[in-house]
Chains A and B, each alone.
Chain A
Amino acid sequence: MKSGLNLRGEAASNLKYEFKICLSNYKIPFGVFFVVMLSLIRGVAYSFEIGIAMEPPMAILAAVFCADTYTREITSRRSQVQRLYPMKKRMGSIAERMMIQEIFLTLLAVMGYGLFFLFQRPRISAMGQDGLRSEAVQFLLYFAAMVITVSFWGILSNLLSCVMRNMWMGIGACVILWVITNSGVIGDRYFGVWNIFSYTFRDVENSGDFSWICGKLVCTCAGIAAMAVLPQVIEKRGC
């Protein structure tokens, strides 16, 4: 019992340190400012448009946010010391940092959803109890899609930054992928429901259409694959 409590205490204090390391002072106001500005500038008429307005910018924000998750160890030369640490511990630290940042980004996405309602007062699909229920379902779907989106872009950006040993190169590579997949001409036309931005390109007028889940499935699988190859990348390129 006592050792269980100790372990929980150790994990909590490590999370506290990881929080201080990965969510530095400038990152929190920058993220909040980004979402506030987005909810003020991007126009929406209906509540179902909020997801379309939020997903692509949040993807970019996640890529920028998470690009330095590990590369900060390289630029500070701490990676040379970390090289001596067990890989399991190093990966655990990266996973914790990713988790903290993803939770923060998800909270920003939720905050953004509320701010759109606050600033732009979009029309809702129906009135009364039914309307409320459909808005709740719509929000839950938005929430699920955003969790996958920010996780995928964060993980991808960290991986690419580690491969190139430079966070700006990682961000650049993500931007290229973002431009391709977020375009109707290439992304939607060629990848269709398998596009990683399938939620943005979904048929908003057909609330029963869940084919966009295919795209999110692609994100989930790619994210898992990216996490799986990360130890090898850190081993080879992480110093």
Chain B
Amino acid sequence: MSIKIKDLTVTFKNKVTAIDHADLEIPGGIFGLLGENGAGKTTLMRVLTTVLSPTGGTVTLDGIPYNEKNYGKIQKKIGYLPQEIDLYPNLSVQECLEYMGDLAGVPRRECGERIGYYLEKTSLQEHRGKKIKQLSGGMKRRVGLIQALLNEPEFLIIDEPTTGLDPEERIRIRNLLVDCSKDRTILFSTHVVEDLAATCDRLAVMKKGKFLYTGSLKDLQQQAKGHVWLCRVKEEAMARELEKGYRVSSKQYVENGLQVRLISRTPPRLAGAVPCEATLEDAYIYITNRESDSCRQ
């Protein structure tokens, strides 16, 4: 299963361009979509789930072009978990999944078997009788993930599933995604870099409707190599001064001052600044600010 996007453009009625002539190929396995809020990630997902029709360009899923005629065929292959979804609060977990499975057209018997399987996999078995409104945020996401999997989709689209969750729940959701990635393509959107590092090896970075980077995580990190520096300053005021001239990816109080992590295309004019290994977060900041920083420096 592969998804090909060519010259995709989405412009809203208010003339805002959410996706601007974007090209992308999503292979099998988990593919990460990283970008700040408003980068166009959700718009892209809405196009891929056929909720939104693009203004221009083409999208194909396994060679099937996205158009009204093919929507029925495409929709059967997709599972979707939107960013914020309120499942039926008055239904229990089991009832909610049975109901959504039935609406999705999954035969009752198969649906029951799949619900049992996924409830066990997501450790929700003992909560199957609880009403949705009684569940924690993380449990609701897990139920949301099960509903997206009920029709055994070939292409699973997950929009920021870990936002607002505690670390344990985030890890659980991430592991679940990895477990579900066998024999299917998962598009996993997030703005939490750690989540991608833990789940996928290929990703795309979006900003203002454009793909700034598409490739492996390793290569992304490689791009920032030689552009990340560590330096030590004595006072907070000096660190603030540094922020005016450079991208600061982290600040940390140490024994005799502050340790600052800088991202700069050129070696910083600072005594004691030493190059250091780039993290994925550094690489993301480097990539997303590369153009504006080159003008600034």
Contact = CB atoms under 8 A, between A and B. Distances in A.
Nearest to B75: A84
A80 interface: yes
Given A17-B98, A84-B49, A89 B75 contact: no
Interface stretch (B101-109, B233-241, B266-274, B286-294): B101-109
Contact of A83 (B50, B100, B108): B50
Given A83-B75, A84-B75, A76 B91 contact: no
Nearest to B148: A81
Interface string A89-108: 11001000000000000000
Contact of A85 (B86, B88, B105): B105
A121 to B, nearest CB: 39
Contacts of A25: 90
Which has the most chain B C-beta neighbours within 10 Å: A24, A78, A84?
Answer: A84
Interface in B257-293: none
A77 B82 CA distance: 8
Given A10-B102, A89-B102, A83 B49 contact: yes
B80 interface: yes
Which has the most chain A C-beta neighbours within 10 Å: B85, B102, B103?
Answer: B103
Contacts of A21: 88, 90-91, 99
Indicate the size class of the contact surface on chain B.
20 to 34
B22 interface: no
Dominant secondary structure of chain B at its interface with chain A: mixed
Nearest to A80: B82
A80 B85 contact: yes
B86 A24 contact: no
A78 B189 CA distance: 18
A155 B108 CA distance: 30
B105 A89 contact: yes
A80 B108 contact: no
B100 A81 contact: yes
A63 to B, nearest CB: 23
B82 A239 contact: no
A76 B99 contact: no
B104 to A, nearest CB: 5
Contacts of B61: none
Nearest to B50: A83
A6 interface: yes
Nearest to B107: A10
A82 interface: yes
Interface string B61-87: 000000000001001101111111111
A128 interface: no
Nearest to B144: A81
Dominant secondary structure of chain A at its interface with chain B: helix
A68 to B, nearest CB: 13
A83 B91 contact: no
A82 B90 contact: no
A138 interface: no
Given A25-B90, A80-B85, A17 B104 contact: no
A207 interface: no
Nearest to A24: B90
Interface string A5-27: 01000100110010011001100
A78 B99 CA distance: 13
A86 interface: yes
A82 B75 contact: no
A10 B103 CA distance: 12
Interface in B34-73: 46, 49-51, 72
A25 B91 CA distance: 12
B190 interface: no
Contacts of B75: 83-85
B102 A14 contact: yes
Contacts of A81: 80-82, 85, 100, 147-148
Contacts of A90: 103
Interface string A49-93: 000000000000000000000000000111011111110011001
Nearest to B85: A77
A85 B46 contact: no
Interface in A221-239: 239
Contact of A20 (B83, B91, B147, B148): B91
Contacts of B99: 14, 17, 21
Contact of B85 (A24, A76, A89): A76
Contacts of B91: 17, 20-21
A175 B108 CA distance: 42
B108 A84 contact: no
B23 interface: no
6 contacts: A20-B88, A24-B90, A85-B103, A85-B105, A86-B72, A93-B103
Given A17-B88, A80-B51, A84-B78, 5 more contacts: A6-B108, A14-B99, A17-B98, A78-B85, A80-B46
